[in-house]
Amino acid sequence: MSISFPDVLLIAVYFIVSFIIAIYFSKRAGKSTEEFFLSGRKLPWWIAGTGMVATTFSADTPLAVTELVAQNGISGNWLWWNMVAGSVFTVFFFAKLWRRANILTDVEFIEIRYSGKPAAFLRGFKAIYLGLFMNCIIMGWVNVALAEIIRNIFGLSEGFVIISVIACMLIVGIYSAIAGLWGIVITDFFQFIMAMAGCIILSVIIINLPQIGGIDGLKRALPEQVFHFLPTLNFSGGQVAGGIIALSFSAFLAHIFVQWWASWYPGAEPGGGGYIAQRMMSAKDERHSLLSTLWFSIAHYALRPWPWIIVALCSLVLYPDLAPEAKKTGYILAMKDYLPSGLLGLTVAAFLAAYMSTISTHLNWGSSYIMNDLYKRFMKKGGTERHYVVVSKIITLILVAISSLLILVINSISGAWAFIIECGAGLGLVLILRWYWWRINAWSEIVAMLAPFAGYSITKFVLKISFPESLFFIVLFSTIAWVIATFVTKPTDSNKLLEFYKRVLPGGPGWKKVDDGQIENKSEKLTSLFINWIMGIVLVYTSLFGIGKIIFKEYLPGFVLLIIAVVLFTGISLRLKKNTAAS
């Protein structure tokens, strides 16, 4: 079905509403950099948490999930489902600490934790590396997804597709520069509801098509292995019925036991970081910081995926002859071919909402690094807040220009995911330990950032090991490198360590050398945090699989899993209240 006037009208209304929100918050955002980048540290948990969920739901996400399902069935989602452990780890071990640090960006953390020229170098380097290089790659693959949608829905030529993507980037760049984080998070909330509504409507319509015949018909049409939530474990992987490729035993081990803690990945950084840290630091207080991240973990992993997965499975039936590299377009083709007029426009607007929520956050987040940790720190000290806000807006538009060009380079969305994970493998342990072990220094983090690139090159060009098995070597190589660097270089200045400890109060045995026993630290014990963490992991997975079982009409195990999830949620809530009362 082609796009109609009602569809275009709905899309236009969506853009107008987004700009009204941006203009409404423009005056507040222009007051200071803290307002522009952190919403004045006044966000309630449900706004901050929903903003995290909206940012990680972009136009690329349903397409990437479709690509994973086409390759490996539902269990292909373990590429990102494994990150539950890291996300919940952030909830209980780091959310309060990030809020307590009272900094503008997570890169600024470097100079409150480390000392000397290495710390200054690392801060400037990470501002460029994360704010420019990695950030633009991420926005680049999001633009690739948007290009696929525009190409398939509107049938435009390649030149017009690129022009359309650049136009969308400019629109998002302008409203991000106007609105700051206040406007972005409120728009995120509106965009997330719209995006999820569009995906749910699409999944309901597609699953009930005569060609599919509901859940029962879908099960009859596809091999049983496609519906397994856990992969069929073997030592070599290999193809099963229907062209599905089973995950190998070693690949599953890499996802479950290595990736979640060892690799840096936007939105799932070990120890928090990036725009997740930005939202935690924007929260009203420590409690809101923790609750926002807990809500994010549940919504991100347990609530969002199933509408995408249903459409992805249906696309395997509707478009069985798509080439492997075109499997991700099955999601878009289902939209175009089977949604009636009006609903098609709503769903396209939903995808634009998902796209804009991600891009706006990345523009604001990336510009915060370039402005606060490069420009303000090294180029223009002592400027006025008004000056820094203006510079932030200019940087936002520069990032728009750079990331728009990457649409010409990036081809595979899930391939870009894997590249980011591999090039951050080994860094994660340093990002965790720097909060809980005094001996980690700036050189530890510098080496942990650079070593994965060497390890990646060795696995790709010498050892010929593919992802995710490559993680075993890259993580081992990087860990050995940063551990050696830690012990052959001088530790952080003792005064800096003591100042950091008093400010953040991380607790744990790793700070005994710094804590002289005179500092009152009411932080929760690590054993208690560990128990909360395990309960949180089980909560998210039982919710995820419980919902999935019910969708696929396995009602008894589904409801049992959800009851377990409710019990765990209640237990965590009581433990958190008890800890708050004790503090």
Confidence check: pLDDT of 235 > 60: no
Look up the pTM and report it.
0.87
The pair of structure tokens assigned to 400 is 């728009």
Give per-residue burial for 205-221: e unless 16+ CB within 10 Å, then b. Answer: bbbebeebeebebbbeb
Q: Is the pLDDT of residue 268 over 90?
A: no
Q: Which tokens sit at 390?
A: 């203006």
pLDDT tens profile 424-477:
888 999 999 999 999 999 999 999 999 999 999 999 899 988 888 899 999 999
Question: Which two tokens mark 292?
Answer: 């926002």
User: Would 464 be classed as within a structural domain?
Assistant: no
The C-alpha angle 189, 193, 194, rounded to 5 degrees, equals 115
Contact in structure between 576 and 289 (CB atoms under 8 Å): no
Instruction: State the average pLDDT over residues 51-66.
Output: 84
State the pLDDT at residue 230. Answer: 84
Residue 19 falls inside a structural domain: yes
For residue 490, is it within any domain?
A: no
Q: From the CA atom positions of the chain, what is the Rg in Å?
A: 23
Q: Are 244 and 224 spatial neighbours (Cβ–Cβ below 8 Å)?
A: no
Residue 245 lies in a domain: yes
Inside any domain, residue 576: yes
Q: Choose one of 330, 349, 378: the last residue of a domain.
A: 378
Determine the pLDDT at residue 487: 96
Residue 517 lies in a domain: no
pLDDT tens digit string along 301-358? 998 999 999 999 999 999 998 888 788 889 988 988 888 877 788 788 887 888 888 8
pLDDT digits (tens, 9 = 90+) for 38-53: 888 889 999 999 988 8
For the chain, how many structural domains are there in total?
2
pLDDT at 572 over 70: yes
- The last residue of a domain, from among 343, 378, 413: 378
Domain boundary among 351, 378, 405: 378
Please indicate, yes or no, if residue 512 is contained in any of the structural domains.
no
Burial profile 15-32: b = 16 or more Cβ within 10 angstroms, e = fewer = eebbbebbeebbebbbeb
Residue 237 has pLDDT above 60, yes or no: no
Domain around 279: 5-378
- The number of C-alpha atoms within 13 Å of 509 and in the hemisphere containing its C-beta is 1
Q: Tell me what the mean pLDDT of segment 269-294 comes to.
A: 90
Residue 263 phi/psi, 5-degree rounding, is -110, 140
Flag the least confident range among 50-54, 289-293, 412-416, 511-515.
412-416
Question: 12 pLDDT exceeds 60?
Answer: yes
Residue 440 placed within a domain: no
| CATH code, 115 | 1.20.1730.10
488's CB contacts (< 8 A; 6+ apart) are none
Residue 236's pLDDT is 52
pLDDT score for 257? 87
Q: What are the residues whose beta carbons fall under 8 Å from the beta carbon of 477, sequence distance 6 or more?
A: 426, 451, 452, 454, 455, 458
Distances (CA, A) of 453 to 61, 190, 447, 449, 473: 25, 39, 10, 8, 12
Q: Is the pLDDT at 376 greater than 80, yes or no?
A: yes
Q: Which two tokens stand for residue 91?
A: 């909830």
User: CA 529 to CA 431: how far, in whole Å?
Assistant: 18
Q: What is the pLDDT of residue 360?
A: 87
Q: Which residue has the tokens 């994970």?
A: 421
User: What is the b/e burial string over 116-150, where b = at least 16 CB atoms within 10 angstroms of the residue's CB?
Assistant: eebbbebbbbbbebbbbebbbbbbbbbbbbbbbbb
According to the model, what pLDDT value does residue 401 have? Answer: 85
